[in-house]
């Protein structure tokens, strides 16, 4: 373990200096020498191309080998694989069993998620993370009931055609609070895609911030969230892009826009062929301690201010996949307080967010 600590210290120093190739070489050398912690970290970096070559199959293989040898961080990543069905058969029961194993071995993020899914507040969760008893974590995992996350949710129709549907008390408030805390340190300016120059830019129509998570930054709870959205709108989880969490400070907004892939955009045909059309946008309101900040649908003639834990989805495309121009919408600026919201785009075919 001391060798692992020293290797990780050297890797962190290389990363801080921008010497990413040297960091990868250090991890590879340690992996070849049998360091399972280094193997886990290298595997995760290769899995998503994080300051390393993007070699997802090789990275997943390293992670699974380390998990088989009892590395708790690797086990937590394999639990994610089992929840979404990549590199492992999709099974939420196996996912929770593996997450429980990681918690029993002391992996704090796994423990945090088990407590969270049992309804503990953030304060209660923080107080119990160091609970040492193996029996406690085993019983916690074995008694977990995921059925509220996996079944369809009764909703209220705000607009029948085009469809806008609301789900009150869609996710628990403790999960809302956790998602906000997870996102605070990841916030970056929200960008707009410049189709002409094929790059993301800061633009005056979008002044809010965004937190995004790649495959190894997502936890089991993030994908349970997608599973619940899938059950609510009836579209498979594999058609979901990466989930984003948006933050609006007072005065920040996203002005009137569409979420579908615009036929007038350069390379439209290629984008549709590669990734499909964005047919649904699913929002989850994570807080409501602000004034203003409504989601506005000017063509439909109404605005909606969600409550904490509420879900809402709207359909962006017609049945044949053509854009629905009635679905112009905006995220209006909060007047006081800050607004937090989950934003999930859903395509009409499986997306390439997860590389196999």
Q: For residues 158 and 259, state if they share a domain.
A: yes
Residue with tokens 């912690």: 37
CATH of residue 326's domain is: 2.60.120.620
| Domain finish residue from 123, 142, 161 | 142
156 part of a folded domain: yes
Q: What angle do CA 131, 137, 143 make, to 5 degrees?
A: 135
123-150: pLDDT as tens digits? 999 999 988 789 999 999 999 999 999 9
Report the share of the chain in percent with pLDDT over 70. Answer: 95
Q: For residues 105 and 183, state if they share a domain.
A: no
352 part of a folded domain: no
The number of beta carbons lying within 10 Å of the beta carbon of residue 263 is: 11
Residue 356 pLDDT > 80:
no
Q: For residues 179 and 322, state if they share a domain.
A: yes
312 part of a folded domain: yes
Q: Which residues of 85-115 are buried (b: 16+ CB within 10 A; e: fewer)?
A: bbbbeeebebbbbbbbbbbbbebebbbbbbb
How many Å apart are CA 288 and CA 339, to the nearest integer? 7
Cβ neighbourhood burial of 61 (10 Å; 0-12, 13-18, 19+): middle
Chain centroid to Cα 239, Å, comes to 14
Q: For residues 179 and 108, state if they share a domain.
A: no
Q: For residues 165 and 287, state if they share a domain.
A: yes
Residue 199 pLDDT > 80:
no
Report the share of the chain in percent with pLDDT over 90. Answer: 85
353 part of a folded domain: no
CATH of residue 40's domain is: 1.25.40.10
Q: What pLDDT shows up at residue 275? A: 82
Q: For residues 178 and 326, state if they share a domain.
A: yes
Residue 277 pLDDT > 60:
yes
Residue 128 belongs to what domain range?
2-142
Length of the chain, in residues:
356
Q: For residues 117 and 162, state if they share a domain.
A: no
355 part of a folded domain: no
243-262: pLDDT as tens digits? 999 999 999 999 999 999 88
Q: For residues 66 and 190, state if they share a domain.
A: no
pTM of the predicted model as reported, rounded to 2 decimal places:
0.93
Q: For residues 135 and 216, state if they share a domain.
A: no
Q: For residues 169 and 316, state if they share a domain.
A: yes
Domain tally for the chain? 2
DSSP, residue by residue, 74-117? HHHHHHHHHHHTSSS---HHHHHHHHHHHHHTT-HHHHHHHHHH
Q: For residues 235 and 176, state if they share a domain.
A: yes
| Domain finish residue from 121, 142, 163 | 142
Residue 268 pLDDT > 70:
yes
Residue 333 pLDDT > 60:
yes
| Domain finish residue from 94, 118, 142 | 142
78 part of a folded domain: yes
Longest dimension (CA), the chain: 65
Q: What pLDDT shows up at residue 112? A: 97
Q: For residues 186 and 320, state if they share a domain.
A: yes
189-198: pLDDT as tens digits? 987 655 555 5
């Amino acid at each position: 373990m001391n060798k692992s600590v020293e290797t990780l210290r050297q890797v962190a120093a290389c990363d801080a200096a921008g010497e990413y190739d040297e960091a990868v070489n250090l991890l590879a050398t340690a992996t070849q020498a049998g360091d399972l912690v280094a193997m886990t970290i290298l595997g995760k970096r290769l899995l998503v191309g994080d300051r390393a070559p993007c070699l997802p199959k090789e990275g997943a293989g390293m992670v699974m080998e380390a998990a088989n040898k009892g590395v708790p961080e690797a086990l937590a990543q394999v639990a994610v694989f089992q929840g979404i069905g990549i590199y492992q058969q999709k099974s939420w029961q196996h996912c929770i069993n593996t997450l429980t194993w990681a918690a029993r071995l002391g992996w704090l993020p796994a423990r945090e998620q088990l407590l969270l899914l049992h309804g503990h507040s953030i304060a209660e969760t923080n107080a119990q993370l160091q609970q040492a008893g193996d029996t406690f974590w085993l019983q916690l995992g074995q008694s977990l009931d995921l059925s509220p996350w996996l079944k369809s949710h009764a909703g209220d129709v705000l607009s029948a055609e085009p469809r806008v549907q609301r789900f009150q008390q869609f996710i628990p408030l403790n999960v809302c609070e956790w998602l906000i805390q997870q996102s605070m340190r990841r916030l970056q300016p929200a960008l707009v895609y410049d189709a002409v120059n094929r790059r993301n830019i800061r633009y005056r129509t979008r002044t809010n911030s965004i937190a995004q998570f790649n495959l190894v930054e997502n936890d089991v709870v993030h994908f349970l969230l997608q599973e619940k959205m899938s059950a609510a709108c009836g579209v498979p989880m594999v058609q979901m892009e990466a989930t984003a969490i948006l933050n609006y400070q007072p005065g920040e907004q996203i002005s009137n826009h569409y979420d579908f892939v615009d036929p007038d955009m350069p390379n439209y045909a290629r984008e549709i062929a590669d990734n499909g059309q964005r047919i649904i946008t699913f929002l989850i309101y994570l807080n409501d301690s602000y004034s203003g900040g409504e989601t506005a649908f000017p063509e439909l003639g109404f605005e909606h201010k969600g409550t904490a834990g509420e879900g809402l989805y709207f359909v962006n495309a017609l049945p044949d996949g053509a854009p629905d121009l009635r679905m112009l919408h905006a995220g209006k600026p909060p007047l006081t307080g800050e607004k937090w919201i989950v934003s999930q785009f859903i395509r009409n075919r499986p997306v390439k967010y997860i590389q196999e």
